[in-house]
Amino acid sequence: MANLVAVQPALHQHLLVVPSQIDTHAAGQNLIPLIPAELSHVATQLPVVLAKNGQTGQFVLAALTGFAVQENLMLEQGHWQGIYLPLQIQRQPFFVGKATPDAADYVVCIDLDSPATLFSTERLGAQRLPADAEALFNADGSETAYYRDAKLKLAQLLQGEQQRELLLSELLALRLLQPMSLEITFADQSITKLNGLYTIDEQQLAQLPAEHLVRLHQQGLLGAVYAILGSAAQIYGLIARKNKQLGY
């Protein structure tokens, strides 16, 4: 459970983030939320799917990283085994929050319980700090390049969420989604069924009237649609990872 507090120079002068620990946030997740802007990176290594949030029934856009609910085959010894790490993990341990529920402006928060968060207190100072530990603030109270970069990622994510909502509402309105039902046999002959995942309906897309295609293109969404379609074959890579884990 995340323990979020608003980042403040006065309070967090000695707060450090250990980037090599960030990957661990992907543990136990078989669906990692994505924004449309990163689809071209993700689609070359993982299947991109749509799934429904269990609590709200709303669609989420996500990378499939495992075949069981808590299985993430992309993580080995706490390290991400791919070239591109989804922004949703990259941004850890930072979050965007609001100081009060009705506040108009966003504030940057940090998860104090994250394995990537450290306090360089006197006591800790005696130990050896991890070599890659990064401070948020310089001695003069100004923001470090690392922290500025972290905030940039949050801004990207925030912006990307709007683009994602636009993509999802277009896909639904144009009836471009279809459920996918997969039955996979692994090398040890065990069989798993994947339910509750959705992808692009290729036939429906092929029949889409030109004006809808143009609108998707003008909104910058057409690339995302094709990236999702093209990512389907990455399921074989994921199956190979599973077979390797099974010892084959």
Partner 1 sequence: MTQQSHTQHINTVVIVGGGNAGWLTAGRIAAKHQGQVRVILIESPGIPPIGVGEGTWPTMRSTLLALGISETDFIRECDATFKQGAKFARWVDGSPEDFYYHPLVLPQGFGKADMAAYWLHGSLHGSLHGTSATTDVSPAMANVGPFSSFSNDLCYQEAICERGLAPKTIRHAEFAAVANYAYHLDSGKFGVFLQRHCMEKLGVEHIQDDVIAVQSASNGDIAAVQTQNHGLIAGDLFVDCTGFKSLLLGKHYQVPFKRCDDVLFIDTALAVQVPYETSDAPIASHTISTAQDCGWIWDIGLQHRRGVGYVYASRYCSEAEARETLARYVGPAIADLAVRKIPIESGHRTRFWQNNCVAVGLSAGFLEPLEASALVLVELSAQMIAEQLPATRGVMDIVARRFNETFLYRWDKIIDFLKLHYILSQRDDSAFWRDNRDLATIPQSLQDLMQLWQHRAPGDLDFTSNNEVFPAASYQYVLYGMGFRSETARQSRQLNNWDFVASQLQQNRKMIDQALTLLPSNRELIDKIRQYGFQNI
Minimum CB separation of residue 191 from partner 1 in Å reads 20
**How far is residue 89's CA from residue 94's CA, in Å, rounded to a whole number?**
10
Which parts of 194-233 interact with partner 1 (CB under 8 A)? 196, 198
Under rule CB under 8 A, residue 54 binds partner 1: yes
Q: How many residues does the chain have?
A: 248
Q: Are 37 and 163 in contact (CB under 8 A)?
A: yes
For the chain, give percent helix, strand, coil, nearest 5.
35, 25, 40
Under rule CB under 8 A, residue 58 binds partner 1: yes
Selected range binding partner 1 among 49-57, 138-146, 185-193, 217-225, rule: CB under 8 A: 49-57
Q: Which residues pair with 95 in a beta bridge?
A: 109
> Nearer to partner 1 by C-beta: 59 or 147?
59
By CB under 8 A, the count of residues binding partner 1 is 15
> Nearer to partner 1 by C-beta: 179 or 220?
179
Minimum CB separation of residue 172 from partner 1 in Å reads 6
- Provide DSSP, 18-85: -GGGGGGGGTT-SEEE--GGGHHHHTTTS-EEEEE-TTT--EEEEEE--SSTT--TTEETTEE-SS--
Minimum CB separation of residue 60 from partner 1 in Å reads 11
176 half-sphere exposure, CB direction, 13 A CA radius? 27
Selected range binding partner 1 among 7-15, 47-55, 66-74, 82-90, rule: CB under 8 A: 47-55
> Nearer to partner 1 by C-beta: 174 or 224?
174
Determine which residue in the list 56, 121, 189, 218 makes contact with partner 1, applying CB under 8 A.
Answer: 56
User: Helices 222-230 and 145-173: crossing angle, nearest 10°?
Assistant: 90
* CA 104, 105, 106, 112 torsion-angle sign: negative
Minimum CB separation of residue 52 from partner 1 in Å reads 4
Which parts of 162-181 interact with partner 1 (CB under 8 A)? 172, 175, 177-179
Residue of 115, 84, 89, 117 lying closest to 7 (CA atoms)? 117
Minimum CB separation of residue 233 from partner 1 in Å reads 23
Determine which residue in the list 55, 77, 100, 207 makes contact with partner 1, applying CB under 8 A.
Answer: 55
Sheet holding 4-6, edge to edge: 4-6, 107-111, 94-97
Minimum CB separation of residue 33 from partner 1 in Å reads 17
**What x/- string results for residues 111 through 140 when contact with partner 1 is judged by CB under 8 A?**
------------------------------
Which residues make up the interface to partner 1 (CB under 8 A)? 52-59, 172, 175, 177-179, 196, 198
